[in-house]
Amino acid sequence: MGRQPSRVFLTMYLRIFSLAAVLLLAACSLPRGAAIESEILSEAAKDAPTFSVVHVTRATLPDISNWPPTGWHRQHQWPAFLSNADAFEIRAGDSIDLLIWDSQENSLLVTAGQNSGQMPGLNVSPTGTVFVPYVGNVSVQGMSPEKGREHLQAEIAKIAPDAQVQMSVTAGRGNSVDLVGGVGAPNNYLLPDRAFTLLSLLAKGGGISRAVRNPLIRLIRGGRTFEIRADVLFSNAAKDVPLRGGDKIIVEADNRYFTTLGATGSEELVYFDREHITALEALSLVGGLTDTRANPQSVLVLREYPAAALADDPVLGPKMRQVVFTLDLTNADGLFAARKFVINPKDTVLATESPVNAVKTVVGLVGSLFSLRNQL
Q: Tens of pLDDT along 202-236?
A: 999 999 999 999 999 999 988 889 999 999 999 99
Q: Find all residues with CB under 8 Å of 321, minimum gap 6, and list them.
A: 304, 305, 306, 307, 309, 310
Reported CATH class of domain 37-71+256-354: alpha beta
Percent of the chain with pLDDT over 70: 81
Element (H, E) at 249: strand 248-253
* pLDDT of amino acid 34: 58
Backbone φ, ψ for residue 52 (5° rounding): -110, 155
Task: Categorize the per-residue pLDDT at 374 as very low, low, confident or very high, splitting at 50, 70 and 90.
Answer: low
* pLDDT of amino acid 84: 56
Q: What is the mean pLDDT of residues 328-338?
A: 96
Task: Categorize the per-residue pLDDT at 9 as very low, low, confident or very high, splitting at 50, 70 and 90.
Answer: low
Q: What is the mean pLDDT of residues 264-276?
A: 88
- Spans of all domains in the chain: 3-30+360-375, 37-71+256-354, 80-85+175-253, 95-170
Homologous superfamily of the 80-85+175-253 domain (CATH): Outer membrane lipoprotein wza domain like (3.10.560.10)
* pLDDT of amino acid 22: 52
**Are 37-71+256-354 and 95-170 equal in CATH topology?**
no
* pLDDT of amino acid 369: 46
Q: What is the mean pLDDT of residues 351-375?
A: 55
CA nearest 178: which of 186, 168, 167? 186
Q: Which long-range contacts (CB under 8 A, 24 or more apart) does 146-153 make?
A: 148/90, 148/96, 152/98
**13-31 residue pLDDT tens:** 555 555 555 544 544 554 5
CA distance 297 to 204: 52
Task: Categorize the per-residue pLDDT at 48 as very low, low, confident or very high, splitting at 50, 70 and 90.
Answer: confident
Q: Does domain 95-170 have CATH number 3.30.1950.10?
A: yes
| C-beta separation of 123 from 92 below 8 A | no
* pLDDT of amino acid 56: 96
Q: What is the mean pLDDT of residues 68-77?
A: 79
Longest dimension (CA), the chain: 149
First to last CA, the chain: 20
**154-213 residue pLDDT tens:** 999 998 888 899 999 888 878 889 999 899 999 999 988 777 899 999 999 999 999 999
Alpha helices in the chain (DSSP H): 3-27, 37-41, 61-65, 145-156, 198-204, 230-235, 279-285, 332-340, 356-375
Of these ranges, 57-66, 72-81, 234-243, the one predicted with the greatest mean pLDDT is: 57-66
Task: Categorize the per-residue pLDDT at 365 as very low, low, confident or very high, splitting at 50, 70 and 90.
Answer: very low
Span of 10-24, 74-88, 93-107, 138-152 with lowest mean pLDDT: 10-24
Rounded-to-5 percentages of helix, strand, coil across the chain? 30, 25, 45
Helix (H, G, I), strand (E, B) or coil at 65: helix
**276-330 residue pLDDT tens:** 999 999 999 999 998 788 899 999 999 999 999 999 898 899 999 999 999 999 9
Is 332 a residue whose pLDDT tops 60? yes
CA–centroid distance for 157 within its chain: 54
